[in-house]
Amino acid sequence: MRLTEFWRRMYAHFGEAYAESFASDHVMSELGGRTVRQALEAGREAKDVWRVVCDTQGVSSVLR
């Protein structure tokens, strides 16, 4: 998954403003105690981060 697709899905699920806030502020134990942004910057694959977001945040099957 490309980062552009990752962010498209984040915006579709959370809305643009909240997606940015969630990605920067919400620490997730499933990402090793990192935020979405920190996990991506540390080299985690976007598809893996997206799966964690889907599993923990109730993302609709349409966006999965």
- pLDDT by residue for the chain (64 residues), tens only, comes to 999 999 999 999 999 999 999 999 999 999 999 999 999 999 999 999 999 999 999 998 888 8
| CA trace torsion 32, 46, 38, 56 (10° rounding) | -50
Q: What is the pLDDT of residue 62?
A: 86
| CA trace torsion 32, 27, 12, 47 (10° rounding) | -10
Alpha carbons 63 and 42: distance in angstroms, whole number: 24
| Cβ proximity of 42 and 34 under 8 Å | yes
DSSP state of 33: S
Q: What is the pLDDT of residue 48?
A: 97
Q: What is the pLDDT of residue 54?
A: 96
